[in-house]
Amino acid sequence: MGSLGSPRSTSIPNSKPSATQNAQVSELETSPSPFPRNLLADKTHMSRSESAKKKIKNKEILKPKIVTGDVGYVLEDVPHFSDYIPGVPSHPNPLQDNPAYSVVKQYFVDVDDTVSQKIVVKQNSKKGTHFRRAGPRQKVYFESDEVQACIVTCGGLCPGLNTVVRELVCALFDIYGVTKILGIKGGYKGFYSCNTIELTPKKVNDIHKRGGTILGTSRGGHDTVKIVDAIQDRGINHVYIIGGDGTQKGAAMIYEEIQRRGLKVAVVGIPKTIDNDIEVIDKSFGFDTAVEEAQKAIYAAHVEAESHENGIGLVKLMGRNSGFIAMYATLASRDVDCCLIPESPFHLEGEGGLLEFIEKRLKENGHMVIVVAEGAGQDLIADSLRNTNHDASGNKLLLDVGLWLSQKIKEYFSGKKKMRVNLKYIDPTYMIRAVPSNASDNIYCTLLAHSAVHGAMAGYTGFTVGSVNGRHAYIPYHRITEKQKKVVITDRMWARLLSSTNQPSFLSHEFIKNVKGEETDLGSHFYLENEYALCNGSITDAIEKM
């Protein structure tokens, strides 16, 4: 495989590809890396001529790096420049000369350190899946003045976005002496349709105290080729992408295109989602803040409900497909009588239905509080209303379960029951995600940002950073994006919720029978509550041993 031709023909005025961004590489005969390799890196600058584009398009990308060891040890590793850029030079890490780190006993993470996905084990358990431990390495693959970094925030808002931006800038600046850092405005489409802003520690000094993102965000607009062209044109070689599951899928495509073009550009994802629906990681930043903020709405609903005869406080919380916010806000509050999430189907009418339970609870206590995740009961609403709308990113636009439920409850009691109820519906949806992150999320954001920067400087790319069992790790994109994390209703955490609210499970016998019949891999778990499932790996086992 040879050079793809002449230097890039189109470019933004005053910007040219940096010499180091396009690695000087030659045909790869043997690999210093122990991993399977099916990609040969391109030579020097790319041309955007049609034939060159075609060649790039047809190039295969690296296969996932899976390393196996003794006793069933598996490392799901992340790509490194040395996998596709032979002879890529390295340098000593400047961290060792940083006065702040002078007292640290061990500056660097050992190259062999990995983080286990499964921590509850039996005596004879296999070692199972591991991820590369995050942190500074002895060698870095960029000189400070060679780095041109950029940061983008995509998808919905989440508390902590500004903190991550701030800490990325500060880590690059303070630890690695990087001074060229660009903010991409307005999400993915900002790469090719907006101006950039220069980011310095001074500019970002106070931003963690503000909600939202100073960079702006958007849904839709992911055009891989245009984005990578912009990255190349601006000479960017560190791309930090903060966003949820959709964003990480987009980041994976950017990384693949960059690898196809043979560029020395690190693509690093920092997972953001208020719904906490990202697999593998313990939890996402901003989640704790959102749960805390939701307490205010639940408190108000409880005060209102308690103060009226047959008072019902109904609170709708975010959670498109995963009910983590509703579940944790309910557990934290202790004022909630019933929590409804997308993972646990319910029915309204008849024996064992929601309306019957509301009536019972009102008769017992005189008031009640219901928390509903926005994605709950969508199948029931869809029966009465047609809904085929999607947002710019392709996410299904949900119908308002809170309004629908309020209507159904009122109809039920004013109809044949002739019972007067006083229902107050509170929808704090955007309030819980528009706030600045709390103290613990701020620290989490800082660690994520530092891990991201250390990984990029150490030459890793094509990964998302996240906490796995409390240790920070580099996780390949496909592990984050292959499925969404959901509340496991056969998990003891959901059982704890049911026992705290004393609500019925609403599950039909048929549903339980179906779930019991399913053999599903329960690989990762929020807060690792499901020890049984982790040991045995099936819903059936989890249910039987609960």
Ligand X SMILES: Nc1ncnc2c1ncn2[C@@H]1O[C@H](COP(=O)(O)OP(=O)(O)O)[C@@H](O)[C@H]1O
Ligand Y SMILES: O=P(O)(O)OC[C@H]1O[C@](O)(COP(=O)(O)O)[C@@H](O)[C@@H]1O
- Catalytic residue positions, numbered: 275
Q: How far is the CB of 87 from Mg ion (least distance, A)?
A: 39
Contacts of ligand Y in 431-450 (CB under 6 A): 433
187 is an interface residue for Mg ion by CB under 5 A: no
Q: Of ligand X, ligand Y, Mg ion, none, which one sits near residue 318, judging by CB under 5 to 8 A according to partner kind?
A: ligand Y
Residue closer to ligand X (CB basis): 148 or 321 = 321
> Strand, coil or helix: what is 119?
coil
Q: Is 320 annotated as a binding residue?
A: yes
Q: 500 to each of 313, 355, 388, 544, how far by Cα in Å?
A: 17, 19, 36, 21
Query: Environment class of residue 97 by beta-carbon count within 10 Å: exposed (0-12), middle (13-18) or buried (19+)?
Result: exposed
Query: Environment class of residue 418 by beta-carbon count within 10 Å: exposed (0-12), middle (13-18) or buried (19+)?
Result: exposed
Q: What is the DSSP string of 385-450?
A: S----B-TTSPBPPP-HHHHHHHHHHHHHHTTT----EEEEE--GGGGTSSPP-HHHHHHHHHHHH
Q: Of ligand X, Mg ion, ligand Y, none, which one sits near residue 374, judging by CB under 5 to 8 A according to partner kind?
A: ligand Y
Alpha carbon distance, N-terminus to C-terminus of the chain: 58
Binding segment toward ligand X, per CB under 6 A, in 33-41, 241-249, 303-311, 518-526: 241-249
Length of the chain equals 546
Binding segment toward ligand Y, per CB under 6 A, in 65-73, 137-145, 316-324, 378-386: 316-324
Q: Is 186 annotated as a binding residue?
A: no
Q: Is 219 annotated as a binding residue?
A: yes
| Site mask for ligand Y (CB under 6 A), range 26-55, x = bound | ------------------------------
- DSSP element (H, E) containing 213: none
261 is an interface residue for ligand Y by CB under 6 A: no
Smallest Cα–Cα separation from 201: which of 177, 184, 228?
Answer: 177
Nearest 5°: phi and psi at 467?
A: -90, 125
Q: Of ligand X, Mg ion, ligand Y, none, which one sits near residue 462, judging by CB under 5 to 8 A according to partner kind?
A: none
Q: 209 to each of 162, 199, 213, 222, 320, how far by Cα in Å?
A: 8, 17, 11, 29, 27
Contacts of ligand X in 122-161 (CB under 6 A): 154-156
Site residue total, ligand Y (CB under 6 A): 13
Structure tokens at 433: 């995600």
State how far the Cα of 525 lies from the Cα of 504, in Å rounded to an integer: 23
State how far the Cα of 428 lies from the Cα of 401, in Å rounded to an integer: 13
> Strand, coil or helix: what is 327?
helix
Q: 244 to each of 154, 218, 480, how far by Cα in Å?
A: 8, 12, 10
Structure tokens at 514: 């179906």
Q: How far is the CB of 277 from Mg ion (least distance, A)?
A: 7
Binding segment toward ligand X, per CB under 6 A, in 214-222, 358-366, 503-511, 528-536: 214-222
Smallest Cα–Cα separation from 455: which of 232, 131, 202?
Answer: 131
Contacts of ligand Y in 386-415 (CB under 6 A): 391
Residue closer to ligand Y (CB basis): 186 or 311 = 186
Residue closer to Mg ion (CB basis): 246 or 313 = 246
Binding segment toward ligand Y, per CB under 6 A, in 139-147, 256-264, 317-325, 468-476: 317-325
Contact in structure between 522 and 533 (CB atoms under 8 Å) = yes
Identity (one letter) of the amino acid at 348?
Answer: L
Q: Is 527 annotated as a binding residue?
A: no
Contact in structure between 369 and 305 (CB atoms under 8 Å) = yes
Which one among 11, 33, 395, 422 touches ligand X, defined by CB under 6 A?
Answer: 395
317 is an interface residue for ligand Y by CB under 6 A: no
271 is an interface residue for ligand X by CB under 6 A: no
State how far the Cα of 264 lies from the Cα of 24, in Å rounded to an integer: 10
Which one among 79, 155, 436, 476 touches ligand Y, defined by CB under 6 A?
Answer: 155
Structure tokens at 173: 């600046």
Q: Where would I find the H helices in 28-71? A: 50-58
| Site mask for ligand X (CB under 6 A), range 273-302, x = bound | x-----------------------------
Contacts of ligand X in 42-61 (CB under 6 A): none
Q: Of ligand X, Mg ion, ligand Y, none, which one sits near residue 187, judging by CB under 5 to 8 A according to partner kind?
A: ligand X
Which one among 269, 286, 311, 319 touches ligand Y, defined by CB under 6 A?
Answer: 319
Binding segment toward ligand X, per CB under 6 A, in 4-12, 81-89, 242-250, 293-301: 242-250
Which one among 20, 276, 310, 393 touches ligand X, defined by CB under 6 A?
Answer: 393
Which one among 83, 229, 275, 288 touches ligand Y, defined by CB under 6 A?
Answer: 275
Phi-psi group of 186: left, alpha or beta (phi > 0 → left; psi -120 to 50 → alpha; rest → beta): left
Residue closer to ligand Y (CB basis): 222 or 320 = 320
- DSSP element (H, E) containing 497: helix 492-501
- DSSP element (H, E) containing 343: none
Binding segment toward ligand X, per CB under 6 A, in 1-9, 61-69, 133-141, 213-221: 213-221
Smallest Cα–Cα separation from 387: which of 206, 395, 199, 425?
Answer: 395
319 is an interface residue for Mg ion by CB under 5 A: no
473 is an interface residue for ligand Y by CB under 6 A: no
Residue closer to ligand X (CB basis): 247 or 289 = 247
Q: Is 457 annotated as a binding residue?
A: no
Contacts of Mg ion in 228-287 (CB under 5 A): 244-246
Q: Which residues sit at the interface with ligand X, rule CB under 6 A? A: 154-156, 187-188, 218-222, 243-247, 249-250, 253, 273, 393-395
Q: Applying CB under 6 A, which residues contact ligand Y?
A: 155-156, 244, 246, 273-275, 318-320, 374, 391, 433
